[in-house]
Amino acid sequence: MVNTTLFLIQAAYSNTEKVWNDLAEMAQTDDSIVVLGDAVLQVTPNIVKDYSNLYCLSNEQTLLNDDAKEHISVIEYTEFADLVLQFRRCVTLK
């Protein structure tokens, strides 16, 4: 198990900006972040610049803006399950 934190970003579109601001106060640059649902629509260049371990589920990758696509690892559900099991701490922001 790794000592960094896994963050799951799963916010409604109207709340996503607040969630990204909350994340900036909590997350370290080496933490892993899985972006889910409407939050995928608001991944900005600043977010991909600040965090190197970003993930998106394969069925939601079409929601990513073009600037973010090359910086986010696209994973399947089985890989997501494996990723979750690697962490001692998991924080969900909605």
Per-residue pLDDT of 13-65, as tens digits, reads 999 999 999 999 999 999 999 999 999 999 988 899 999 999 999 999 999 99
Q: So what's the pLDDT on residue 82?
A: 97
Per-residue pLDDT of 64-85, as tens digits, reads 999 889 999 999 999 999 999 9
**Predicted confidence band of residue 8 (pLDDT cuts 50, 70, 90):** very high
| The two three-digit tokens of residue 38, written as one number | 């409407």
Residue that has been written with the tokens 């701490």 in this structure: 89
β-strands 32-35, 53-57 pairing? parallel
Q: So what's the pLDDT on residue 36?
A: 97
Strand partners for 75:
57
**Domains parsed from the chain with CATH numbers:** 2-93 (3.40.1260.10)
94 contacts 15 by C-beta, under 8 angstroms: yes
